[in-house]
Structure 1
Amino acid sequence: MENQHPSLSRFFILVLVFAFFFPFSIGQLSSETRLLFRVRRLLEYPPALSSWNNWTNFCYLPPSPSMTIVCSQNKITELSIVGNKGPLPSPPSQNLSQKSLFAVSPQSLSSAFSIDSLFTTLSKLSSLDVLSLVSLGLWGPSPTKIHRFSSLQVLNLSSNFIYGEIPPQVSSLTNLRSLVLDNNLFNGTVPDLSSLPGLEELDVGWNLLGPEFPSLGKTVVSVVLRNNAFRSNIPSELEHCDQMWRLDLSYNEIAGTVPSWLFSLPSIQYLNLAGNKLTGVLATDVSCGNQLGFVDLSRNLLVGGLPLCIYSNSSKRTVSYSWNCLSSGDLRYQHPYRFCQKEVALAAVMPPLRNKSSKSKLGLIIGIAGGVVGGVAALAILVWVILTRVGAKRAENGGLQKSITEKTPTRSPNIVSNAGHMSHAMRLGAIGLPQYHVFTLEEIEEATNNFDPSNLIGEGSQGQLCKGRIRDGSVVVVRCLKLKQKQSIQSLTQHMEVISKLRHRHLVSILGHCIVTYPENPNASNTIFLVFEYISNGTLRSHISERQKQETLKWPQRLMTAIGVAKGLQFLHMGMVPGIFGNDIKIENILLDGNLTAKINGYNLLIPSKDKITKVGSESPFSRVEVDNHGSIGHGDKEDVHQLGRILLEVITGKTITSQSELDELKLQLQRSLTDAPTKLRAAADPSIRGTFAYESLRTAVEIAINCLSNNPSQRPSIEDVLWNLQYSVQVQEGWASSENLSTHS
């Protein structure tokens, strides 16, 4: 015992010395550690923080897509957390009860959550430079205590449910360089940001902000105001923003003329003015900046010709100008001149439609979860409005989400990084599907009764299709595939793990697989059994033809099936890397389940051969369609959009298209009807849906269908743009139906 005393003495001496020289460091770390655990509790234990324990050294945690913590001199300087509770990808149903939105949705934090408590706690991390809280389901009024983050350079609160005005205290954050608040419920005027000397990035898209254009400083590099309620002119102050490379003002109600200097800003690369109320003639002598790579002027009220630098549309520049009243370019996709005259005159005597519709919806809006009182009811109002407008893009999915046709330049290296977004498409997931299962051969034989001939529902060069019933009682379809080339079991297993992620409520999803190998016979090929869900309610074609036995769909149901197909394609294109393109999207390959949910049955799968990637369709597995290293087949994404346009024509008219000539004729008929009296377009619709649709809803669907069928693939819209327009068509239809019901009851 006596021999141990010197060792103990030395130990205590070391502890005392360490505590004497480093008291601040120990106190600082333990203090901020306690704050982080409190943040985890306030966020209701998100999965990204589930691994924390009392022994976690936060300053040495490896960064991940869902969490990053950075320290400097024993102080936390960056906290970035990404969850999976962002805004829903589609509008909620109008018949929800007044206290059910957040009660039925897993997308937001509970009614006990306090955004004020969260930011009070976070503000005690006094050295934060970067604060990023993305898709965590945060809800409540905008955090006014934001001014306490005096050193903040990056603030990212995207994809949450924060409502009210953007706190004016943001203007006091003099170190702020990046402000990202997109996909929330902010409304009102944006505070004056011109006093922020280093602000480079502003993204407040997909909110309810407006009507005045925000005041910005000369240092801005990227400005995104997409999908809000801005209604003022484009301010002349932007002419002095020499570093700005991205300006996205799309889908607001911005009025006035397009300034000539906008195209020649020294650094401008991306300019999106689509979906506004811009009028007048573009100056023909406009010069475009050398770096300008993307211009979208579509869906405005512009007249006259296009400037030469835009009209030339070189291979280095993508330009869209459809649905104006222009006299140059492709006139098939322009309104007649009188259309723009009429719209301008109407705007002069009537308030903007969006403002009017927003007011009319206030009386219909739902409340917040029970237990939240007072001002929280306003959140439900904003939630319903924003989600009806956001619908798409987002699954993200989004990733709620930006157009994949936009040639977005590389993020400016001057902007502080780690303010990332999540793909909305990835969040759509396998909603309502059972857990993926790796079957044994015995289970496959049991499900199909040893492949009894009575269960055979298809056979051809691509293998047999058998109907079966697995042990949980689900009816399935089993496809037997014999590979032509010998492959290692490890290679097949790894790739099937990737394929198992291709599960979505708008796909005929794979429920599992079984790999059978023959090690005793090296010359024998491997066999794979793919187990798909069984869809028993027929094809979309069978539901829009009165000659079939199934119930004929009315216009609102047809819109929802089209949206389902678009969401399925969005997931295929954006839910995985590489995306799944060049799919067999035809009306016979769209199946409907018992709830009339559309499911794509003709999508492709990626299966590796020995030295390349091979496409495999669920209808024709292991078909030999070779793709490049990025998983793209030429204009595969735009070919899918073209096929969707063809489906839309059949859904709208009820006619079966069997040849290219029939497609061209029907497309031309609908194009002409758009410029004639409304009776022409109504007459072109399927007789079985007449009287069930709003004219503007039908018109919107026809316009997007024609755009999808453009002969030039580069002029076809992205799948997210298609989804946005279809969901807007649903909005118009629901508003019309509500007014019709009101008139009937009156």
Structure 2
Amino acid sequence: MDFKRRIPDTLGNLAFLLNLDLSRNKLDGRIPDSLGNLTSLSYLYLSNNILEGRIPDSFGNLATLLELHVSYNNLDGRIPDSFGNLTSLSYFSLSRNILEGRIPNFLGNLASLLHLDLSYNKLDGRIPSALGNLVSLTYMDLHENKLEKRIPESFGNLTSLVRLDLSSNMLEGGIPVTMRNMTKLSDLDLSNNMFQGRIPNSLGNLVSLSSLDLSNNMFEGSIPDAFWTLSSLSHLNISNNKIFDSFPKNSSSLSSIDMSHNQIFGHVPDLSSNFPELRTLDLSFNEFNGWVPHFPPILETLNLRKNKISGKLNGICSDINISDTDPYTLALLNVSDNLLSGELPTCLHNFVSLQYLNLANNNLSGDVG
């Protein structure tokens, strides 16, 4: 049976309470103002409930609060100005609510903040430059809001940042050169915005980068050569842009590449020797020519749809090395809408992991062996 309960006002009488965890219940209604009386509180967890209404201004009285978790609720209104008093706060999550208005400048005064998550709300306007004051911050997630204009130059001060997600907003302009200072950054997601211009070479300074997503923007020009020498980079997504370049010669670290829906041209090199860690490659909807490349046994997805790939497909049979110790793991092969010709490959039945095969709109003939 589904029982719903409200947070009782009387909890505000527990003057010596240090830790209050009411998360993952079915609490509904408003958060009582009386919780602002818990001035000894260090940890407050209200996430994963059905709480609604505004966040109480009285929370600004919780000057000793270290962590505040109110994500996954139905809270609305603005972030209270009184939160500027929470100078001890290290973990601050308001994600997945219905908060609106601008991100307040005073958040830049919360000098102890390590983790800031305002994602999945309706916050709008510019990202305040004051957030660049949070020099201890390691995690910032602002994605799925209505933020606009440019990334502040002050973000170059966030040299402790490990993850930055600004995806699915309405941000524009270029990527600030100052972001080259974020040498501890492991995960950068700027996808689904309106960024434009060239991808800056300065991103090649992000030596700790493991995942980079710049998809669904309006970037143009070439891909910085420095990307291919980033030894930690394993996931790269630059799909749905206006990139005009050729495919790189090699990378020893990349396991996932998505360059689909661009204007990338030329031959795809031998993947088996030049991209030994590659598991997923999507080059669909580009201008590639040449032949279907050799690929490593660990490759799981190869999508070359809608290019100008020609020649015979039988070349993939030379990649087969059937053994228990070195099986091929290809699960998706899409070479549709190309210029392939000749007999259908006789070895397709050997790709025992194959789940999706699309050879449509070519000039292939014969029987599948």
TM-score normalized by the length of structure 2: 0.61
Aligned pair 1:269/2:300, yes or no? Answer: yes
Residue 208 of structure 1 corresponds to which residue in structure 2? 242
Residue segments in structure 2 that go unaligned for 5+ positions in a row: 1-75, 100-112, 117-134, 321-326
SS of corresponding position for 1:54: helix
Aligned pair 1:134/2:195, yes or no? Answer: no
Aligned pair 1:292/2:330, yes or no? Answer: yes
C-alpha separation in 1, matches of 2:213 and 2:271 = 22
SS of corresponding position for 1:308: coil
Relative to structure 2, which stretch is displaced further, 127-136 or 288-297? 288-297
Partner amino acid, structure 2, of 1:79: M
Residue 743 of structure 1 corresponds to which residue in structure 2? none
Partner amino acid, structure 1, of 2:235: E
SS of corresponding position for 2:142: strand
Partner amino acid, structure 1, of 2:140: L
1:307 Cα offset (Å): 2.1
Distance 1:137 1:326, change over 3 A: same
C-alpha separation in 2, matches of 1:63 and 1:267 = 40
Distance 1:51 1:244, change over 3 A: farther
Aligned pair 1:220/2:254, yes or no? Answer: yes
Partner amino acid, structure 2, of 1:60: Y
1:197 Cα offset (Å): 1.1
Q: 1:686-717: CA deviations, max 9, x gaps? A: xxxxxxxxxxxxxxxxxxxxxxxxxxxxxxxx
C-alpha separation in 1, matches of 2:96 and 2:279 = 27
- Aligned residue runs from structure 1 range 416-495, under 5 A: none
C-alpha separation in 2, matches of 1:295 and 1:142 = 34
1:268 Cα offset (Å): 0.7
Aligned pair 1:75/2:136, yes or no? Answer: yes
C-alpha separation in 1, matches of 2:349 and 2:341 = 14
C-alpha separation in 1, matches of 2:285 and 2:298 = 23
Aligned pair 1:256/2:301, yes or no? Answer: no
Aligned residues: 253
Q: 1:406-436: CA deviations, max 9, x gaps? A: xxxxxxxxxxxxxxxxxxxxxxxxxxxxxxx
Distance 1:295 1:124, change over 3 A: same
2:307–2:338 contact (8 Å) kept in structure 1: yes
C-alpha separation in 1, matches of 2:181 and 2:360 = 47
Aligned pair 1:241/2:275, yes or no? Answer: yes
Partner amino acid, structure 2, of 1:132: D
C-alpha separation in 2, matches of 1:217 and 1:317 = 27
Residue 734 of structure 1 corresponds to which residue in structure 2? none
C-alpha separation in 2, matches of 1:166 and 1:49 = 34
SS of corresponding position for 2:318: coil
C-alpha separation in 2, matches of 1:278 and 1:206 = 20
Aligned pair 1:152/2:190, yes or no? Answer: no
Partner amino acid, structure 2, of 1:276: N
1:315 Cα offset (Å): 7.2
TM-score normalized by the length of structure 1: 0.32
Residue 341 of structure 2 corresponds to which residue in structure 1? 303
Q: 1:130-169: CA deviations, max 9, x gaps? A: 1110112110133222212121111110000111110011
2:223–2:245 contact (8 Å) kept in structure 1: no
SS of corresponding position for 1:171: helix
SS of corresponding position for 1:127: coil
C-alpha separation in 2, matches of 1:218 and 1:60 = 36
Aligned pair 1:54/2:115, yes or no? Answer: no
Q: 1:259-306: CA deviations, max 9, x gaps? A: 2x22xx132111111111000012263345521111101000000123
1:329 Cα offset (Å): 5.4
SS of corresponding position for 2:202: helix
C-alpha separation in 1, matches of 2:183 and 2:233 = 14
C-alpha separation in 2, matches of 1:328 and 1:143 = 54
- Aligned residue runs from structure 1 range 44-443, under 5 A: 50=79, 53-56=83-86, 58-62=89-93, 64=95, 70=115, 75-85=136-146, 109=148, 113=149, 115=150, 118-192=151-225, 193-214=227-248, 216-236=250-270, 239-259=273-293, 261-262=294-295, 265-283=296-314, 285-288=317-320, 290-310=328-348, 316-328=354-366
1:216 Cα offset (Å): 4.8
Partner amino acid, structure 2, of 1:286: S
Q: Which has the higher strand share?
A: 2
Residue 48 of structure 2 corresponds to which residue in structure 1? none
SS of corresponding position for 1:187: strand
SS of corresponding position for 1:61: strand
Distance 1:122 1:286, change over 3 A: same
Partner amino acid, structure 1, of 2:282: D
1:69–1:80 contact (8 Å) kept in structure 2: no
1:77 Cα offset (Å): 0.5
SS of corresponding position for 2:152: helix
Q: 1:599-647: CA deviations, max 9, x gaps? A: xxxxxxxxxxxxxxxxxxxxxxxxxxxxxxxxxxxxxxxxxxxxxxxxx
1:243 Cα offset (Å): 1.8
1:65–1:82 contact (8 Å) kept in structure 2: no
C-alpha separation in 2, matches of 1:256 and 1:274 = 13
SS of corresponding position for 2:192: coil
C-alpha separation in 1, matches of 2:304 and 2:268 = 10
1:180 Cα offset (Å): 0.6
1:55 Cα offset (Å): 3.9
Partner amino acid, structure 2, of 1:283: N
Q: 1:219-277: CA deviations, max 9, x gaps? A: 10100001000011102366332221100001101111112x22xx1321111111110
Partner amino acid, structure 1, of 2:223: V
1:311–1:329 contact (8 Å) kept in structure 2: no
Distance 1:298 1:237, change over 3 A: closer
Partner amino acid, structure 2, of 1:54: G
C-alpha separation in 1, matches of 2:266 and 2:77 = 41
Partner amino acid, structure 2, of 1:323: N
Distance 1:292 1:48, change over 3 A: farther
C-alpha separation in 1, matches of 2:337 and 2:220 = 24
Q: Percent identity?
A: 29
Distance 1:315 1:256, change over 3 A: closer
C-alpha separation in 2, matches of 1:201 and 1:49 = 36
SS of corresponding position for 2:357: strand
Distance 1:65 1:235, change over 3 A: farther
Partner amino acid, structure 2, of 1:136: N
Residue segments in structure 1 that go unaligned for 5+ positions in a row: 1-46, 86-107, 331-746
Partner amino acid, structure 2, of 1:281: K
Partner amino acid, structure 2, of 1:75: S
- Aligned residue runs from structure 1 range 497-536, under 5 A: none
Cα RMSD, aligned residues only: 3.1
Q: Larger Rg: 1 or 2? A: 1
C-alpha separation in 1, matches of 2:301 and 2:187 = 22
SS of corresponding position for 2:287: coil
1:119 Cα offset (Å): 3.4
Partner amino acid, structure 1, of 2:287: E
2:250–2:274 contact (8 Å) kept in structure 1: no
